[in-house]
Structure 1
Amino acid sequence: MNDLGKLEDLPADYRAELTSHNLVPLWPSLRGVLPPGKPRPNTRATFWAYNTIKPLLLKAGELTPIEKAERRVLVLANPGHGLEKMQASAAMYLGMQLLLPGEWAPSHRHTPNAVRMIVEGEGAYTTVDGEKCPMSRGDLILTPTGLWHEHGHDGDQPVVWLDVLDLPLVYYMEASYHINGERQTVQPGRGDRQYARGGMLPTPVFERSAKTYPMLRYPWAEARAALLTMGEDMPQQEAVQLTYVNPETGEDAENILGFYALMLRPGQSLRLPARSPACVFHVIEGGADITVEDQAFSLTEADTCCAPGYTAVTLKNRHADKPTFVFMADESPLHRKLGVYENRG
């Protein structure tokens, strides 16, 4: 039943005539686009060690001034897609970005959504839509589609962060572009202060904020404390995980990719089910052994790996005496919107 005809089975003159009219026979390629049982992802389980990336990133800082680079980034590319495509999965782009003391990465805006997960360093900030967001290790900062953003550094040590964008998807849709702008004027008010307590929102006595993204910075100090409290309050809970959400709507923080923080208890081993979206894992604190099918990676702080969809993943805390904290990004919001999300257990 699955033995479909091959393209070379067709006469050469017939194939040539089809080509001349921009026509393609479906049946020789049908199983390629509709494989039986489950997809055949190009995304490979891939690991990027921060101790390898950091010296190369610092060297880039010596070789290329920010004025020439605009954004000084090393892309974490998945070989399954081809390094030249600069993507970690079908819909996710990852990059490690460096900002040196005194530098300013100029203001621009673009169609892809982006977030910044701060890896190390102090004194830098991102200004998004007029809101100045300080950068500290583990903080998550949004730069959603269409919002002006720029980066500055008032400190004395290099600052590095992990960029996560939905660039591959937006590029595939032929909707990717950017516009340069002028340095922003910082406006009063910070969403991470207005929405700092769970279950409580600012009361719109006169008018609700018109901002689509009312909270742009998610401080790691708050997320870490929440995970520790959850772990103590729910000792029976196997997966101690939180989702970064829009505090006004309860929906995902951005509309294409999902972002999460996971705590592994001391010595804990956790199996995550095989789900349709690809997933990225980045260690904020501690260390984890991650197994993706028959591949195993040992991650220490600031290391990153990617797992394809439809694949079960096992994480094990490498420390028996302290928790490990992991930042995760995946394509779940996109899959749910398209109606293709699956959890196969």
Structure 2
Amino acid sequence: MTSRSPLPNDLQAQRDAFHAELQRMSIIPLWLNLSTAAQTEPRVEGVPHIWRWRDIKPMMLRGGDLISPQEAERRVLMLINPAFDRKSARTVGMIFGGIQFLMPGETAESHRHTPNAHRFIIEGEGAYTAVEGERTIMRKGDYVTTPAWKWHDHGNESDQPMAWLDGLDLPFVNLLDANFFEDYQEGGLHTQPVTRRAEDSLHRWGRGLRPTWEEPARPDISPLLNYRWETSRDSLHALRHEPGSPYDGIILEYVNPLNGKSPLPTISAWLQLLRKDEHTRTHRHTSSTIYHVAEGGGGSLIGGTEYLWEEGDTFVIPSWAEHEHWSRGGEAVLFSYSDRPILKAFGFFREAVQEG
């Protein structure tokens, strides 16, 4: 007797039963998931978004009245992308941003963690950050690094609130299941001792010279604790008459003085000047970026939507989103940081520019 080919309905029933059995075994056939595994270009979950300083600052001050740094571990307002839930700790891409603040007389006790961190000072002057026994006094516009697994704490000895933008590679470390955390407790103390003179790393590494008798244990991590605003801003304006980048204006990258690469191995940071009436051309890239408006005002066109910003605002551009920037009413200075070193390390960084 000649066997007959299964009817289409019979075949579909067999396929459904086969797929269901695979699912019970925690197996997914590639042919049912091909659009995820083989994308013609990235399908990015994160969305452009802007957080207004005029909205954040009052909430920051209210938080200062309601909860202490000790209760909070760190009093940080996490900037979570609307596309993600709060447990993701994702602002955009593989980087996190949050607004940390200290009221006068407050301290945030020492701890350490495997995520790399940095800080860009938004407001105030006179608070300190201490990393591995060295203190630096922070002022508006300073860029302060805190490499992975280094003891660090903060204190505000000034008479005014102090606020800064925290940046971490927290989503990346969480993705790798490599996030460790430890509070400092030694000799009954919760704050690390100061063992080096103030600004010691600046004297050793921040003036274009280096102590020849000293070899840093980690050359991939910048030994410089604080990149001073006045120096960085002066460098930016000294190049204001250069053509600059057609996509970013006059833009400078913070670098590790030991190797010329990013200060932290997973996060790059930049400072850019948009001159009066400057409007950059459109481009896009696979790195995700968090921007903070250090001075002035302007706007950005991100994925076809216009975002107007002013000093103190923070906004994000996800991977592969077309974007352009312009100044408004004068000049503008933007601080930004990105997960670009991660993509470059694995050969995944790609950029596309608008022709013409």
Partner residue of 1:152 out of 155, 165, 170: 155
- CA–CA distance in structure 1, aligned partners of residues 14 and 342 of structure 2: 39
Partner residue of 1:267 out of 241, 261, 277: 277
Q: Are residues 1:174 and 2:177 paired?
A: yes
- Identical counterparts, % of pairs: 33
Q: CA RMSD in A?
A: 1.8
- Segment of structure 1 superposing worse, 13-22 or 255-264: 13-22
Q: 1:9 to 1:179 in 2, by over 3 A?
A: farther
The Cα shift of 1:83 comes to: 4.0
Q: 1:184 is matched by which residue type in structure 2?
A: Q
Q: 1:207 to 1:166 in 2, by over 3 A?
A: closer
> Which residue of 1 is the match for residue 6 of structure 2?
none
Q: Are residues 1:69 and 2:78 paired?
A: no
What are the ranges of 5 or more consecutive residues in structure 2 without an aligned counterpart? 1-11, 185-189
Q: 1:285 to 1:74 in 2, by over 3 A?
A: same
- Segment of structure 1 superposing worse, 148-157 or 186-195: 186-195
TM-score by length of 1: 0.91
Q: 1:53 to 1:103 in 2, by over 3 A?
A: same
The Cα shift of 1:343 comes to: 1.1
- CA–CA distance in structure 1, aligned partners of residues 298 and 290 of structure 2: 13
> Which residue of 2 is the match for residue 121 of structure 1?
124
Q: 1:33 to 1:90 in 2, by over 3 A?
A: farther
Q: 1:226 to 1:32 in 2, by over 3 A?
A: same
Larger-Rg structure = 2
Q: Secondary structure at the match of 2:285?
A: coil
Q: Are residues 1:317 and 2:321 paired?
A: no
Contact preservation (8 Å) 2:93, 2:319: no
Q: 1:230 is matched by which residue type in structure 2?
A: L
Contact preservation (8 Å) 1:214, 1:246: yes
- CA–CA distance in structure 1, aligned partners of residues 56 and 43 of structure 2: 29
Q: Are residues 1:227 and 2:236 paired?
A: yes
The Cα shift of 1:48 comes to: 0.6
> Which residue of 2 is the match for residue 332 of structure 1?
340
Contact preservation (8 Å) 1:201, 1:248: no
Q: 1:223 to 1:16 in 2, by over 3 A?
A: same
1:7-26 correspondence to structure 2 within 5 Å = 11-26=15-30
Q: Are residues 1:34 and 2:38 paired?
A: yes
What are the ranges of 5 or more consecutive residues in structure 1 without an aligned counterpart? 1-7
> Which residue of 1 is the match for residue 302 of structure 2?
292
Q: 1:297 to 1:237 in 2, by over 3 A?
A: closer
> Which residue of 2 is the match for residue 5 of structure 1?
none
Q: Are residues 1:91 and 2:94 paired?
A: yes
The Cα shift of 1:148 comes to: 0.6
- CA–CA distance in structure 1, aligned partners of residues 32 and 67 of structure 2: 48
- CA–CA distance in structure 2, aligned partners of residues 97 and 237 of structure 1: 32
CA offsets per residue over residues 243-283 of structure 1, 9 Å max, x none?
Answer: 11111111111111110000111121113521111111110
- CA–CA distance in structure 1, aligned partners of residues 214 and 205 of structure 2: 16
